[in-house]
Amino acid sequence: MSDMNDRAALITGASSGIGRATAHAFAANGAKVVLAARRQDELASLVSEIEAGGGKATAITTDVSAAKDVERMVAHAIEAYGRLDYAVNNAGIEGRWAGITELAEDEWDTVLNINLKGTFLCLKYEARAMLDCGHGGAIVNIGSVNSFLGFQTGSAYVASKHGMIGLTTSVSAELAPKGIRVNLLCPGFIDTPMHRRGRAILGDELYDKVLLSSVHLRRAGRPEEIARSIVFLCSDEASYITGTTLTPDGGFTLTI
């Protein structure tokens, strides 16, 4: 992997799962990290973990659906490190699984505001900062295999993740000529708190026999496996990759 020393990476949704693993991966590659999420205690423990390993980290509580929070988050990154080279827009929620006739309007709005509007706001302020710094940069948005596939009772989540395809390709076309690459990463079944909640709803039998049986590797992915893909997309090794989608899903979408 290319040298990320003296470069700064911002990760939203950093307090758990893929975001937490990604923060560790960037730090292991020499990047200084800015950790953003809503849970202050988890952020504090992550900062301690990274610093204990010899890395450099700072954290800021952030609600990505609020423009003022996102603007403050990016300003914190610049204040802390004087630059922003990489950004990973990972914050997201699944919302309540409910049929379309039962889903409340405010439930729909909450999911779309965090997952899709939140990604838009992050892109807006991250791109401004990268352009002001003049170093270029790389941004990875985190979608899902549900960026391509729907499932019953998941209309809000699926709609938000589908929207990230159009958002990513459009912003890539705009920013690539200015030296900023933007890509979408769409994980499959990854062993994170979100997927454990889904497994609890579906039950072990349905999850294992129906879902995991459709994964070529016959297992859920690990957060650190996804983190390595994210760091690759930000690295100089991916210098000719922009506006595309990487799908680390163990072969799941090839089976459907």
0.85 exceeded by pTM: yes
Q: Say if 196 falls within a structural domain.
A: no
**Count of domains forming the chain:** 1
Q: Is 228 helix (H, G, I), strand (E, B) or coil?
A: helix
What is the rounded CA–CA span in Å between residue 120 and residue 79?
22
Indicate the burial class of 68 (C-beta count within 10 angstroms; 0-12, 13-18, 19 or more).
exposed
Q: What is the pLDDT of residue 205?
A: 72
Q: Say if 217 falls within a structural domain.
A: no
Q: Give the pLDDT mean for 237-251.
A: 96
Q: Say if 1 falls within a structural domain.
A: no
Q: How far is CA 65 from CA 100, 102, 109, 120, 186, in A?
A: 23, 24, 10, 9, 21
- Chain centroid to Cα 98, Å, comes to 24
| Active-site hit among 81, 86, 125, 157 | 157
Q: Say if 129 falls within a structural domain.
A: yes
Q: Does residue 236 surpass a pLDDT of 80?
A: yes
> Which residues constitute the domain of residue 178?
8-190+225-248
Q: Give 82-104 pLDDT, tens digit per residue.
A: 999 999 999 999 898 899 999 99
What CATH number corresponds to the domain at position 32?
3.40.50.720
Of 60-64, 110-114, 217-221, 233-237, which range is least confident?
Answer: 217-221
Q: Give 186-218 pLDDT, tens digit per residue.
A: 999 898 877 777 666 667 776 766 667 788 988
Q: Say if 208 falls within a structural domain.
A: no
Q: Say if 216 falls within a structural domain.
A: no
Q: Say if 121 falls within a structural domain.
A: yes
Q: What is the mean pLDDT of the chain?
A: 93
Q: Say if 207 falls within a structural domain.
A: no
Q: Give the pLDDT mean for 136-154.
A: 93
- Tell me, yes or no, if 157 is annotated catalytic: yes
